[in-house]
């Protein structure tokens, strides 16, 4: 049996300000730094050790990972960063306040933009300063791979490509892996691992800074999963919107 740990970064400055974030590279809030430290303490207290880590190219996930590894005295392990683990691109909504956007377009529309697998938020205009085409972070990508907006299925496509090409080979070497990523890039991975249908993923929300453990068999089929706290496994019904 193999164990994989997923962690959504701690609260970010824009989670706190209730703004659509996506690929915007915002930092952790003070509460987010604390959540990351706690996650490291929880993992250490529960006896977890990692050989290899994956994260996105966004600082809220990278810093969360570093703080966790620091707490566990594991800062030395190899870490691979990829844009394919980035948060879902939020298109022209990036930077807007979620409550104000709901007042303007209605709760139902905003809920679809936030949680539907198939509805794409409005696209960024390629002339928009928020478009990442000239960001050196993405210089190795074809311009056509830099999104103007994504739905969850778009995110799932790149996350699962990366899962198959880069993460699975490491897990198959019997390395103990942690992935530090984002609400929706992790929802995409969970959707794939648990075979959640598109309409079933709408209500799934992954909390910030709570380690989510997947037990996998030798074929990497899911045996079971659970969140961890200081006392060990958390009953899933305790976490709102968690995986059934």
Ligand X SMILES: O=C(O)[C@@H](CO)OP(=O)(O)O
User: Is residue 183 a known part of a binding site?
Assistant: yes
Size of the site for ligand X (CB under 6 A): 9
Crossing angle of the two packed helices 98-105 and 107-115, in degrees rounded to 10? 130
Residue 87 appears among annotated catalytic residues: yes
| Smallest separation, CB 115 to ligand X (Å) | 7
The CA distances from residue 65 to 8, 117, 131, 168, in Å, are 10, 27, 26, 19
- Asked if 150 is part of the footprint of ligand X (rule: CB under 6 A), the reply reads no
If we measure between CA atoms, which residue out of 198, 7, 182, 160 comes closest to residue 90? 182
Q: Which of residues 14-33 bind ligand X (CB under 6 A)?
A: 15, 20-22
The per-residue DSSP string of 142-183 comes to -GGGS-S---HHHHHHHHHHHIIIIIHHHHHTT--EEEEE-H
If we measure between CA atoms, which residue out of 52, 55, 73 comes closest to residue 63? 55
User: Is residue 90 a known part of a binding site?
Assistant: yes
Residue 173-212 contact track with ligand X, rule CB under 6 A, x = bound: ----------xx----------------------------
- Asked if 83 is part of the footprint of ligand X (rule: CB under 6 A), the reply reads no
Query: Between residues 172 and 203, which has the closer beta carbon with respect to ligand X?
Result: 203
Instruction: Considering the candidates 71, 87, 150, 156, report the single residue annotated as catalytic.
Output: 87
The residues carrying an active-site annotation are 9, 87
**Which residues make up the interface to ligand X (CB under 6 A)?**
15, 20-22, 87, 90, 114, 183-184
């Amino acid at each position: 049996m193999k164990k994989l740990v997923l962690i959504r970064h701690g609260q970010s400055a824009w989670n706190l300000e209730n703004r659509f974030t996506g690929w915007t590279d915002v930092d952790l809030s003070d509460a987010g730094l604390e959540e990351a430290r706690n996650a490291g303490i929880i993992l250490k207290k529960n006896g977890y050790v990692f050989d290899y880590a994956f994260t996105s190219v966004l600082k809220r996930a990278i810093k969360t990972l570093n703080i966790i590894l620091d707490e566990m005295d594991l800062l030395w392990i190899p870490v691979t960063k990829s844009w394919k683990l980035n948060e879902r691109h939020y298109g022209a909504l990036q930077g807007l306040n979620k409550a104000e956007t709901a007042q303007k377009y209605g709760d139902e529309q905003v809920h679809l933009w936030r949680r539907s697998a198939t509805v794409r938020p409005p696209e960024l205009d390629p002339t928009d300063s928020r478009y990442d085409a000239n960001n050196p972070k993405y210089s190795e990508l074809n311009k056509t791979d830099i999104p103007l907006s994504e739905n969850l299925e778009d995110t799932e496509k790149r996350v699962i490509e990366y899962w198959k090409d880069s993460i699975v080979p490491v897990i198959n070497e019997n390395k103990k892996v942690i992935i530090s990523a984002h609400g929706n890039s992790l929802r995409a991975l969970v959707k794939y691992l648990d075979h959640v249908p598109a309409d079933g993923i709408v209500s799934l929300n992954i909390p910030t800074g709570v380690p989510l453990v997947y037990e996998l068999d030798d074929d990497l089929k899911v045996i079971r999963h659970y969140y961890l706290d200081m006392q060990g496994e958390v009953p899933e019904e305790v976490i709102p919107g968690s995986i059934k």
